[in-house]
């Protein structure tokens, strides 16, 4: 059509015998027609090839078809998360918790067990909440609690119904007791049974100058296999019978169950919601004078420092525990919290020995970044010559409670001591790890090993 129009235009302005007309007929018109024909062929061939190409699901969009006989396009395989695993753990946790002893008492409103005072402090040392009179026990909580946003903390906030009658205390048979943990002091006679939490064995007498402290992150957030792990915890406590127990990652149902079963221990909690720390004191050997909770001002995981002032065989002590900020990315916050712990230890009265034990989540390089331990504060593991069998308290090479894709072995749990400049001398004697016996379920009581430390107290009197 283009050639016809052009020819019409030329014929209007020039005669058929003009040079322009001859140029058009002899050269331009044949060339143009040939070019148009070639382009038309290429266009037709490309359309036919496109129609024959198969549908590629990765690059082409497939519209849904209403017909029942539609052809299903190939699907790309996407790994799906196991959504039912957490629900199954929650179901098992509820079954376990409902089988625990009655916890009808309220830890906040229950009458006091001893003349003591507990207060919540901010890190500047000012009392945030205090008791109105001596002899009134207040187990106060932080004014905020971000820890309830973490996975697993929801179990602590659920209302549970527990049976009205408590089962008989667990008596650990000698053939099922952990083989790696011998009792700190042997009974007077071979026939004498081991003590059980909630019972007091009057025949077994421990040296008044031997102090046994156990610190342990019991991983209360992990509800899987709790029907075996919680009795396993009770068996360890029954065999060891520590004077002071420092616990981390407690949740309310576990804390209430321990308080109900272990009648001969006095419990002080760092909180009552989410997950928190706690201290248990053996009443026959330790007297609680006061307790404080110091909130870390910049924590994003609801962490704090629980401190107790004690009297052990007439000797004044300060015992502290904490669960420092978790995860590698929170290194700076963790070091800030450790500085505050050290500050509190140094500020204690000179006639008091201060012992701190807890889950610090520390890496050795973080201690180096802080310039090492402050003057006057010692790492008990280092004082005892760095025993190799106590080096790793979070050992994912041996412990299979967590699915870690790499062989992590770290000394997360640590014990620090600041000896008093006056009064009795408190010296570390030994250290051993607990919780290293595998349960019938194939797992361990916790993903952390506990640390049992023995201290000797020398009054200096001949």
DSSP assignment of 306-369 equals EEEEEEETTEEEEEEEEBPPPSGGGHHHHHHHHHHHHHHHHHS-TTSEEEEEEE----HHHHHH
Cα 349 to Cα 139, 253, 423, 455: the distances in Å are 24, 36, 11, 20
Structure confidence at residue 32 (pLDDT) = 77
Spell out the residues 6+ positions from residue 417 whose beta carbon is closer than 8 angstroms to its own.
353, 354, 355, 356, 377, 378, 380, 383, 426, 428, 455
Domain 108-458 has CATH 3.60.10.10: yes
Compute the distance between CA of residue 193 and CA of residue 172 in angstroms, rounded to an integer. Answer: 10
> SS3 for 147?
helix
Catalytic residue selected from 219, 243, 359, 413? 359
CA 392, chain centre distance (Å): 17
Compute the distance between CA of residue 306 and CA of residue 323 in angstroms, rounded to an integer. Answer: 10
What is the per-residue DSSP string for 45-94? Answer: HHHHHHHHSPP-TTTSPPPP--STTPPPPPPPP-----THHHHHHHHHHH
Determine whether 106 is an active site residue: no
Structural contact between residues 265 and 197, judged by C-beta atoms closer than 8 angstroms: yes
Look up the pTM and report it: 0.63
Structural contact between residues 157 and 273, judged by C-beta atoms closer than 8 angstroms: yes
> What sign results for the dihedral spanned by CA atoms 366, 371, 376, 381?
positive
Structural contact between residues 166 and 264, judged by C-beta atoms closer than 8 angstroms: no
Cα 193 to Cα 172, 176, 206, 236: the distances in Å are 10, 14, 15, 15
* Burial of 430 (C-beta count, 10 Å sphere; 0-12/13-18/19+): middle
Structural contact between residues 279 and 267, judged by C-beta atoms closer than 8 angstroms: yes
pLDDT tens over the chain, length 462 residues: 444 444 444 444 445 556 766 666 677 777 777 777 777 766 666 655 555 555 444 444 434 434 333 333 344 444 444 445 556 655 655 554 444 443 333 333 334 444 445 666 666 543 343 333 333 333 333 333 333 333 333 333 333 333 344 444 444 433 333 333 333 333 333 233 334 444 434 345 789 999 999 999 999 999 999 999 999 999 999 999 999 999 999 999 999 999 999 999 999 999 999 999 999 999 999 999 999 999 999 999 999 999 999 999 899 999 999 999 999 999 999 999 999 999 999 999 999 999 999 999 999 999 999 999 999 999 999 999 999 999 999 999 999 999 999 999 999 999 999 999 988 899 999 999 999 999 999 999 999 999 999 999 987 654
> What sign results for the dihedral spanned by CA atoms 350, 355, 358, 363?
positive
- Closest listed residue to residue 11, CA positions, set 21, 23, 1, 19: 21
Compute the distance between CA of residue 21 and CA of residue 1 in angstroms, rounded to an integer. Answer: 17
Residue 416 pairs in a beta bridge with 356, 379
- Closest listed residue to residue 251, CA positions, set 154, 162, 320: 154
């Amino acid at each position: 059509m283009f050639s016809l129009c052009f020819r019409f235009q030329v014929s209007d302005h020039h005669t058929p015998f003009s040079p322009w007309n001859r140029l058009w007929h002899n050269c331009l018109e044949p060339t143009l027609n040939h070019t148009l024909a070639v382009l038309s062929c290429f266009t037709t061939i490309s359309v036919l090839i496109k129609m024959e190409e198969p549908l590629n699901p990765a690059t082409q969009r497939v519209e849904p078809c209403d017909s029942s006989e539609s052809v299903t396009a190939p699907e790309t395989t996407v790994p799906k998360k196991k959504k039912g695993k957490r629900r199954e753990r929650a179901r098992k946790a509820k079954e376990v918790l409902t089988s625990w002893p009655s916890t009808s008492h309220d830890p906040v409103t229950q009458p006091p067990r001893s003349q003591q005072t507990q207060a919540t402090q901010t890190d500047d040392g000012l009392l945030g909440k205090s008791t109105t009179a001596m002899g009134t026990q207040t187990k106060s909580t932080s004014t905020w609690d971000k820890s309830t946003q973490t996975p697993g903390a929801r179990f602590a906030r659920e209302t549970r119904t527990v049976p009205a009658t408590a089962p008989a205390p667990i008596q650990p048979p000698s053939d099922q007791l952990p083989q790696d943990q011998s009792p700190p002091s042997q009974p007077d006679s071979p026939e004498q049974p081991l003590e059980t939490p909630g019972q007091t064995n009057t025949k077994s007498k421990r040296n008044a100058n031997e102090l046994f402290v156990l610190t342990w992150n019991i991983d209360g957030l992990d509800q899987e296999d709790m029907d075996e792990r919680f009795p396993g915890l009770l068996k360890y406590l029954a065999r060891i019978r520590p004077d002071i127990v420092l616990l981390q990652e407690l949740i309310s149902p576990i804390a209430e169950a321990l308080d109900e079963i272990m009648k001969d221990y006095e419990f002080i909690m760092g909180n009552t919601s989410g997950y928190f720390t706690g201290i248990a004191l053996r009443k026959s050997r330790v007297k609680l004078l006061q307790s404080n909770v110091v909130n870390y001002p910049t924590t994003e995981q609801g962490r704090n420092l629980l401190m107790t002032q004690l009297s052990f065989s007439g000797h004044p002590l300060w015992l502290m525990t904490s669960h420092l900020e978790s995860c590698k990315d929170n290194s700076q916050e963790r070091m800030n919290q450790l500085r505050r712990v050290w500050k509190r230890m140094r500020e204690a009265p000179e006639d008091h020995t201060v012992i701190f034990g807890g889950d610090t989540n520390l890496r050795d390089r973080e201690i180096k970044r802080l310039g090492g331990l402050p003057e006057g504060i010692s790492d008990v593991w280092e004082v005892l010559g760095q025993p190799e069998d106590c080096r790793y308290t979070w050992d994912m090479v041996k412990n299979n409670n967590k699915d870690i894709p790499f062989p992590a072995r770290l000394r997360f749990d640590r014990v620090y001591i600041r000896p008093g400049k006056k009064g009795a001398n408190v010296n570390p004697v030994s250290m051993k790890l607990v919780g290293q016996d595998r349960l019938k379920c194939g797992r361990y009581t916790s993903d952390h090993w506990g640390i049992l430390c023995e201290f000797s107290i020398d009054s200096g009197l001949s």
